[in-house]
A and B are shown apart, each in its own frame.
Chain A
Amino acid sequence: MKPRWPIVVTYLILFAIAIPWYWQWFGSAAIQPVFGLPRWVLVSILGSVGISVLTAWLIYKHWPEEDVDP
């Protein structure tokens, strides 16, 4: 299998959004409620939704059928 780099990079970006490492620089804006949830929580959940959608799309469109048996 050859890695599909655009997909790998998209996963890395989505996980980087989902893991809330960057919110410490946003001060109190991070916990301001948006749709009843702290902003950082909502963004992290959206990142997770993105990962689920990408994964489902990959499975739907690029499910591998090649034989790996040498």
Chain B
Amino acid sequence: MMATLPFGPGALTFIGLYLLSLLYLGWRGRQAQQENTLKDFYLAGSGIGFTVLIFTLYATQYSGNTLFGFTGNAHKNGFGWLVSVHFMTAIIVFYLLFAPWLHQLAKKHSFITPADYLTHRFASTPLTALASVIMIIAAANYLLAQLIAMGTAVEVLLVFDVGQGAIPSDPATQHTAHMAFIIGVVLLTIIMLAYETLGGFRAVAWTDAIQGIILMIGFVILLGLVINRLGSPGDAIAILAESKDRLIQPPDTKGAWTWLSWILVVGIGGALYPQAIQRIYAANSSNTLRKSLMVMAFMPLFTTLFALLVGVIGAAQNYDLAKDTYILPAIMREIMADSMIGYCLVVLLAAAIMAALMSTADSVLLIISAMITKDLYARFINPDASESDLTRLGKWVSLVVVVLMAGLAVGLYHFRDNNILITLMKLKFEMLLQLAPGFILGLHWKNLPSRAVFAGMIVGLLVAVGLYFGRLAEFNSYKLTGIHEGVWGLLANLVVIGLLANNFFSHSSNSKQSAGPQ
């Protein structure tokens, strides 16, 4: 028998109005457009103030994965997933190594994409091209993951069955689930593309503000509801101590190394997300960026930690779930069946889940469009293109990319749980980590030569990606050592830079020419 849909007309109207408000903001963003230039479209003229910046940073950094993935991981690993609080905090710590200076340079030289900085600093076409390709692949990978998550979110919100701990396997429900997935991907993608094409970065940042507020409220409501319905973390720990002791135990030595590795991988990789760098450029002043990062330093304690506690409390409930990521919909179903207030709050939470997914996906889509248009087309194919032509092209690029990715997301529906696909989709931080020397060392090491950074990046990529693909074969270095492949790659990257940079200094006649910006 087909599962009953949980949301009534009132709930669907609320979610519909919320989605329409995003389109309205897109239209307002178009009205606020000051000029038909890349800087206006992709950075809102670098005029983003504190309130919008803090919410766009927040909504972009905390994705649907924080809600579904992090609660699922906590359900599976218990307090071992506390590392998520540390690696999200580490992102802000690593920002301190480059964001203040990068912002100044971006203002001074009107940077639009992350590659603009690399071009300014190293004046090396191969280096800029390789970095652009790495960032586009990583961002496209991330976008695809967000689109699949959008469809999955709509699917589980609508047809998940708590009793079975899964989506019922009867053909009618399976068909509804498939349709819900497709509608989720297509509908949310169309709305996202519409407001983004209308208002560019301005629309994305303004909708992020709404989405960020809903997301923040969502996290607070979620923890409050869970404690009210299922008991406090203390109650959960008492139960887990009896039944699942390993979920409350500290990690062993190898586990502690893995914590350190997580902190480095997500801390550095998350800070170097191209959409994160775009926000550093977009702040209207150094003071705005400064205040926003001060607030962001505390957000993991109110976001990631909340998700962890929800997952741990859920683990004590002994749900029989087909997947750990079903813990959130399982809890939501219980709460909404409990009372009218619970139902209303879960509807708000459903909007928060969509907000989390869309706010991350729209930012990633916009930066992919910027990088393809400016870093590839304008730099290598048509350097004489006018700003208005490039802006128009950028909108077409967004359309093509999102149609391609949404098509892939829908086409991969039956392969979502395939190990190869999951492994491929997780491959982004390993690559992004190899950009760290170019951005961080490049800012502080004035004589750092471009060829050392380029060679380091190639070696780092080969090591990281090579080891990573070992996961698909017998050789899984991550499982063997507890250290992520990207960290090994970064170590190799730094060794190559150290060797080449020192060697380079012995030929001092050439060094000045290649080292600084041209």
B79 and A41 form a contact (CB under 8 A): yes
B253 and A52 form a contact (CB under 8 A): no
B284-332 residues with Cβ-Cβ distance < 8 A to A are 286, 290, 293-294, 297-298, 300-301, 305
Interchain Cβ contacts under 8 Å between A and B, 21 examples: A11-B93, A18-B86, A19-B260, A19-B263, A20-B256, A31-B250, A33-B237, A36-B234, A37-B237, A38-B248, A38-B250, A45-B305, A47-B86, A48-B89, A52-B298, A52-B300, A55-B92, A63-B100, A68-B443, A69-B517, A70-B517
**Residue numbers in A under 8 Å from B237 (CB-CB):** 33, 36-38
Report if A6 contacts B (CB, 8 A): no
**Residue numbers in B under 8 Å from A68 (CB-CB):** 101, 104-105, 443-444
**Residue numbers in B under 8 Å from A1 (CB-CB):** 101, 443-444
Report if A58 contacts B (CB, 8 A): yes
B226 to chain A, nearest CB (A): 14
B290 and A63 form a contact (CB under 8 A): yes
**Residue numbers in A under 8 Å from B101 (CB-CB):** 1, 64, 68
A6 to chain B, nearest CB (A): 15
**Residue numbers in A under 8 Å from B111 (CB-CB):** none
Report if B233 contacts A (CB, 8 A): yes
Cβ-neighbour of B82 out of A31, A44, A63 (below 8 A): A44
Measured CA separation A64–B306 after assembly (Å): 33
**Residue numbers in B under 8 Å from A24 (CB-CB):** 250, 252-253
A51 and B93 form a contact (CB under 8 A): yes
Report if B446 contacts A (CB, 8 A): yes
A9 to chain B, nearest CB (A): 14
Measured CA separation A67–B294 after assembly (Å): 21
B298 to chain A, nearest CB (A): 5
Measured CA separation A58–B2 after assembly (Å): 56
**Residue numbers in A under 8 Å from B259 (CB-CB):** 19-21
Report if B20 contacts A (CB, 8 A): no
Report if B516 contacts A (CB, 8 A): yes
Measured CA separation A15–B444 after assembly (Å): 24
B305 and A63 form a contact (CB under 8 A): no
A61 to chain B, nearest CB (A): 11
Supposing A1-B444, A19-B259, A63-B100 touch, asked if A56 and B85 sit within 8 A by C-beta, the answer is no
**Residue numbers in B under 8 Å from A51 (CB-CB):** 86, 89-90, 93
**Residue numbers in B under 8 Å from A41 (CB-CB):** 79, 82, 248
A38 to chain B, nearest CB (A): 5
Report if A13 contacts B (CB, 8 A): no
**Residue numbers in A under 8 Å from B444 (CB-CB):** 1, 68
**Residue numbers in B under 8 Å from A47 (CB-CB):** 86
A31 and B96 form a contact (CB under 8 A): no
Report if B224 contacts A (CB, 8 A): no
B residues near A (Cβ < 8 Å) are: 79, 82, 85-86, 89-90, 92-93, 96, 100-101, 104-105, 108, 232-234, 237-238, 241, 248-253, 256, 259-260, 263, 286, 290, 293-294, 297-298, 300-301, 305, 443-444, 446, 516-517
**Interface extent on A, as a size class?**
35 or more
Supposing A36-B233, A37-B237, A68-B101 touch, asked if A56 and B250 sit within 8 A by C-beta, the answer is no
**Residue numbers in A under 8 Å from B89 (CB-CB):** 48, 51-52, 55
Supposing A40-B250, A69-B105 touch, asked if A48 and B301 sit within 8 A by C-beta, the answer is yes
Identity of the chain B residue whose Cβ is nearest the Cβ of A23 in the assembled complex: B250
B268 to chain A, nearest CB (A): 14
**Additional A-B contact list (15), CB under 8 Å, known A48-B301, A52-B92, A52-B300:** A1-B101, A1-B444, A20-B250, A33-B237, A38-B250, A41-B79, A48-B89, A49-B301, A55-B93, A56-B297, A56-B298, A64-B100, A68-B104, A69-B105, A69-B517
B294 and A59 form a contact (CB under 8 A): yes
B387 to chain A, nearest CB (A): 24
A54 to chain B, nearest CB (A): 9
Identity of the chain A residue whose Cβ is nearest the Cβ of B93 in the assembled complex: A55
B250 and A15 form a contact (CB under 8 A): no
A63 to chain B, nearest CB (A): 5
Cβ-neighbour of B234 out of A37, A58, A63 (below 8 A): A37
B250 and A30 form a contact (CB under 8 A): yes
Cβ-neighbour of B290 out of A11, A59, A69 (below 8 A): A59
A70 to chain B, nearest CB (A): 5
Supposing A44-B82, A58-B96, A63-B286 touch, asked if A31 and B256 sit within 8 A by C-beta, the answer is no
B233 to chain A, nearest CB (A): 5
Cβ-neighbour of A52 out of B249, B256, B297, B446 (below 8 A): B297
- Lowest 10 CB-CB distances: which A-B pairs, in order? A36-B234, A21-B256, A23-B250, A20-B250, A55-B297, A40-B250, A68-B101, A52-B297, A56-B294, A56-B297
Measured CA separation A48–B241 after assembly (Å): 24
Measured CA separation A57–B92 after assembly (Å): 12
B256 and A59 form a contact (CB under 8 A): no
